[in-house]
Structure 1
Amino acid sequence: MKIKFLLGLFLLMSLLFSAQNNDQHAISKSFSSFLNQLKNRDIDKAVDNIYPKFFTVLPKDQMKMILNMTYNNPIMKVEIINYKVSQIGNIELVKGEYFSVVDYSTRIRCNAEGMQDEMRNSIKNMLIQKYGKGSVVYYPKEMAYYINAKTKACAISKDRKNWKYILVEKEMKQQLNKVLPKKILDKI
């Protein structure tokens, strides 16, 4: 009798663990697709993969404008060279929605060609303030900054199949209070 109970418990734990891994794999695949959309400058598709409640704090057209200014700016070309999803957090159900925190890193190139020295220094200071001194390197021959950024995102779904995302920026913590549950914000 004990053996059957332990075997049943083991099977149940295995199924739960397997389901969690499948969900995490689905999030990783979907999030990579989202980052590829940003990398390829497909702004409309990327915006379609942003969590809809986020647009209550930042309107959708304003978000499109910000992303276009970031990735399609002729003055300072920003390019995602590569990215890596490093960890998908446990999935938690909060008020009918599933949440998971995604840790990822990106290598970004910011072209500073054609800028005055004063502007280049301002950009460098801004990037260092945002990403940290050890994460920003300027290559004068290329006239470009390379950034190694470790960041977080939040994956959200109603059905554990279709995931939407919010890229978590330190500066946006106040706005995120209006969109994400406190239990999830505490993990970010």
Structure 2
Amino acid sequence: MKKLLLCLFLLSAGAAFAQVAQAIKKDFEAIVAYTHQKNMDKVIDMTYPRIFTVMPKAQMKDMANGMLDGMGIKTIFEEVPLMLKLSPVKKLNNAAICLGRYNQSMVLEFANPALADMMTKTQMKGTVTEKIGDNKVRMKGTQYLLAIKDSYTGNSWKYLRYDDEDAATNARILSKEIIAAATQLKTALKIVK
């Protein structure tokens, strides 16, 4: 009887985990799609709320919508297979996290061709940059998105970029426990091809 109860418990726990993983996968795909559509209201709704202590929502939206346009740069997200890989959900003392890795490709079109040359020479970790015209550059690489469920999210899943260039900001808003666990998940995801 104990073995039967244990088997039933494990089956129900496995089904619950599969549902959580499926919900996170669906959210990851949605936030990437909203980013490509430049639907910043939807992206902000899904964003981990502690980021807004560092950058208010209005500022984030203005930057996303106008920063590059104001510099004469047009961003075009290319439709490429996401090749989404999710880590297992990791339960922590006061949170649960899951890290996702996905492919992204975008073309930047510059009003000033000299900026295209400068961008081609700029090295960014995990990103391949190639010039594809006098004023166009393609940037493609691997991106990371962290799903977080804690008291700040009202116990629902919210998302935060977790790329190397976001490390300083993330260190200001995430607990040391979350950063340590996310770093372990990222290392494991880098090994999995």
TM-score band w.r.t. shorter chain:
0.7 to 0.9
Inter-CA distance 161–53: structure 2 relative to 1 (3 Å threshold): closer
Inter-CA distance 72–16: structure 2 relative to 1 (3 Å threshold): farther
**Structure 1: unaligned runs, 5 residues or longer:** none
Matched, 1:53 2:47: no
**Structure 2: unaligned runs, 5 residues or longer:** 184-193
> Which structure would you say has the larger Rg?
1
Deviation at residue 95 of structure 1 after TM alignment: 4.7
Matched, 1:98 2:104: no
Question: Residue 78 of structure 1 aligns with which residue?
Answer: 75
1:44 aligned to 19, 41, 44, which one? 41
| 3-state secondary structure, aligned to 1:177 | helix
2:106 aligned to 108, 125, 128, which one? 108
Matched, 1:155 2:154: no
Matched, 1:67 2:64: yes
| 3-state secondary structure, aligned to 2:8 | helix
| Aligned-partner residue type, residue 129 of structure 1 | M
Whether the aligned pair in 2 keeps the contact of 1:154 and 1:166 (CA below 8 Å) is yes
Provide TM-score, normalisation by structure 1. Answer: 0.80
Deviations 1:35-65 (A, max 9, x none): 1111111112211221111111222222112
Provide TM-score, normalisation by structure 2. Answer: 0.78
| Aligned-partner residue type, residue 152 of structure 1 | Y
Deviation at residue 178 of structure 1 after TM alignment: 2.4
Inter-CA distance 160–101: structure 2 relative to 1 (3 Å threshold): farther
**RMSD (CA atoms):** 2.6
Inter-CA distance 96–161: structure 2 relative to 1 (3 Å threshold): closer
Whether the aligned pair in 2 keeps the contact of 1:94 and 1:181 (CA below 8 Å) is no
Deviation at residue 26 of structure 1 after TM alignment: 0.3
Runs of 4+ in 1 over 4 A off after TM superposition: 70-74, 158-161
| 3-state secondary structure, aligned to 2:172 | coil
- Distance in 2 of aligned mates of 1:125 and 1:137: 9
- Distance in 1 of aligned mates of 2:19 and 2:99: 16
Question: Residue 9 of structure 2 aligns with which residue?
Answer: 12
Inter-CA distance 74–122: structure 2 relative to 1 (3 Å threshold): closer
1:28 aligned to 19, 22, 25, which one? 25
| Aligned-partner residue type, residue 176 of structure 2 | K
Question: Residue 123 of structure 1 aligns with which residue?
Answer: 119
Question: Residue 189 of structure 2 aligns with which residue?
Answer: none
1:185 aligned to 159, 175, 179, which one? 179
